A and B are shown apart, each in its own frame.
Chain A
């Protein structure tokens, strides 16, 4: 059973460009979570999605960030007009139900130059 898959593993963008991060949950998992890991700040929750629905985006910056989990295909975290402060590791996790353990992908390391 394949684990959570994320791509790309590394992404370099210039300031002002768009970044698209993809996450395919484990088979049978319909709950997806995105977290961001910044140096010295640890892992912070960004958004929780179920198929076609955003359940909780309380951790998302108000501007430039969006997420989706369509009926078909992977979940996408989109960052528009990236800035240097967006450089971080972005992790996706999935779970089969609520109130269960979350399984993490290998992460996407975004570098903004």
Chain B
């Protein structure tokens, strides 16, 4: 079955430090991969996506992610974290079925705390 694992439930970093959030997926076909960010009480904002091509993708707010097929990973990175990056981050894989269905399967999220 398709699944997404985010091993870190909670990460704390200092402002200005680098960040890497881990994501591993299980999916038999070529995956569509996404990272979303959710602030408390808000909806999900798309940070970046991977469909094909260059395995290093750039997103909004200075985030990037690298797709590694051999490791079934799609880790999110940022070189210097800002206090406003404190939020919950969700990795997702897009699932397509022969019946024409489309859906996202999400990891359980990583909550990021940024210390001043």
Q: Taking beta carbons and an 8 Å cutoff, which residues of A are in contact with B?
A: 4, 6, 31, 33, 35, 41-45, 48, 55-56, 58-59, 91, 93, 95, 98-99, 101-107, 109
Q: Which residues in A have their C-beta under 8 angstroms from that of B109?
A: 42
State the main secondary structure of chain A at its contact with B: strand
In the complex, the answer to whether A101 meets B97 with C-beta atoms within 8 Å is no
Kindly state the separation between the CA atoms of A93 and B101 in the bound complex, as whole angstroms: 14
In the complex, the answer to whether A98 meets B49 with C-beta atoms within 8 Å is no
Chain B residue with minimal CB distance to A3?
B43
In the complex, the answer to whether A101 meets B96 with C-beta atoms within 8 Å is no
Q: Which residues in B have their C-beta under 8 angstroms from that of A103?
A: 46
Please list 14 pairs of residues, one from A and one from B, whose beta carbons are closer than 8 Å in the complex, sorted by A's number: A6-B43, A33-B103, A42-B107, A43-B106, A44-B106, A45-B104, A55-B102, A56-B99, A56-B101, A59-B103, A99-B32, A99-B102, A105-B43, A107-B43
Contact partner, B102, options A35, A98, A109, Cβ 8 Å: A98
Contact partner, A55, options B32, B42, B44, B101, Cβ 8 Å: B101
Looking at B42, B43, B49, the one whose CB has the most chain A CB atoms below 10 A away is: B43
Kindly state the separation between the CA atoms of A56 and B103 in the bound complex, as whole angstroms: 9
Q: B50 → chain A, closest Cβ, in Å?
A: 10
Chain A residue with minimal CB distance to B95?
A45
Q: B87 at interface (Cβ–Cβ under 8 A)? A: no
Q: B79 → chain A, closest Cβ, in Å?
A: 24
Q: Which residues in B have their C-beta under 8 angstroms from that of A55?
A: 99-102
Q: Which residues in B have their C-beta under 8 angstroms from that of A31?
A: 102
In the complex, the answer to whether A48 meets B103 with C-beta atoms within 8 Å is yes
In the complex, the answer to whether B96 meets A98 with C-beta atoms within 8 Å is yes
Further contacts, 9 of them, CB under 8 A, given A6-B43, A41-B108, A102-B46: A4-B43, A45-B104, A56-B100, A58-B101, A93-B44, A98-B100, A99-B51, A101-B49, A104-B44
Kindly state the separation between the CA atoms of A45 and B109 in the bound complex, as whole angstroms: 15
In the complex, the answer to whether A42 meets B46 with C-beta atoms within 8 Å is no
